[in-house]
């Protein structure tokens, strides 16, 4: 089932998500609904707070190389209770978008590599080093479960540029905002 999205201005997007204990059928269902919602919105990632759940759960899509060398999106992966460590000194700048901040794209500088330890939907713990696009999507979504948005990580100049757009989003989605 496609879930309604939460938008910039919703206090839920500023909360720290709760750790997931037992992986109940409800959590499994939520993960599948989040995948459906992400696909319907053409996203490459989605975090639980973006569908109104303050939980440490997000979905990512990595890139993969297709048969003709083209870049395709891989299968969605479910990430539970992640811990990110050892960000690389080396960083990169890339333009990001966010399903909760529609129509806004900003340059964000992030480390090129990160270590992540997380649980999959079976409850197995996995540890890996993520790089490039994968690392970026992980860091963007991990920010969401800590109440951080991409607009917090952009330059002053970018922030000033998008301020009118942010105001519009608040007006559109939150009548009293
Ligand atoms: Zn986002």
- Would you mind telling me the total number of residues written for the chain in this entry? 177
Q: Is 141 a catalytic residue?
A: yes
Q: Report the separation in Å between the CA atom of 140 and the middle of ligand 1, taken as the mean of its atom positions.
A: 6
pLDDT of residue 175 exceeding 70, the answer is no
Report if pTM > 0.85. Answer: yes
Report pLDDT digits (tens) over 95-113: 999 999 999 999 999 999 9
Closest CA to 148 of 15, 9, 4: 15
Q: Report the separation in Å between the CA atom of 75 and the middle of ligand 1, taken as the mean of its atom positions.
A: 18
> Using 50, 70 and 90 to split pLDDT, how confident is the model at 2?
very high
107: CB partners within 8 A, 6+ apart: 93, 94, 95, 96, 154, 155, 158
Q: Given 77, 90, 107, 141, which residue is catalytic?
A: 141
């Amino acid at each position: 089932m496609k879930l309604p999205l939460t938008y910039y201005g919703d206090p839920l997007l500023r909360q720290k998500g709760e750790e997931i204990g037992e992986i109940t059928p409800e959590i499994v269902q939520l993960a599948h609904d989040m995948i459906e919602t992400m696909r319907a919105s053409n996203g490459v990632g989605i975090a639980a707070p973006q569908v109104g759940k303050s939980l440490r759960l997000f979905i990512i899509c990595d890139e993969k190389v297709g048969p003709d060398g083209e870049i395709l999106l891989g299968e969605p992966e479910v990430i539970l209770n992640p811990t990110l460590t050892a960000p690389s000194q080396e960083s990169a700048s890339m333009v990001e978008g966010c399903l909760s901040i529609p129509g806004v794209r900003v340059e964000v500088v992030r480390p090129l590599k990160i270590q992540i330890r997380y649980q999959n939907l079976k409850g197995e713990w996995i540890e890996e080093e993520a790089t490039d696009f994968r690392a970026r999507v992980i860091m963007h979504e991990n920010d969401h479960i800590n109440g951080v948005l991409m607009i917090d990580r952009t330059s002053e100049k970018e922030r000033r540029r998008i301020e009118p757009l942010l105001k519009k989003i608040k007006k559109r989605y939150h009548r009293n905002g």
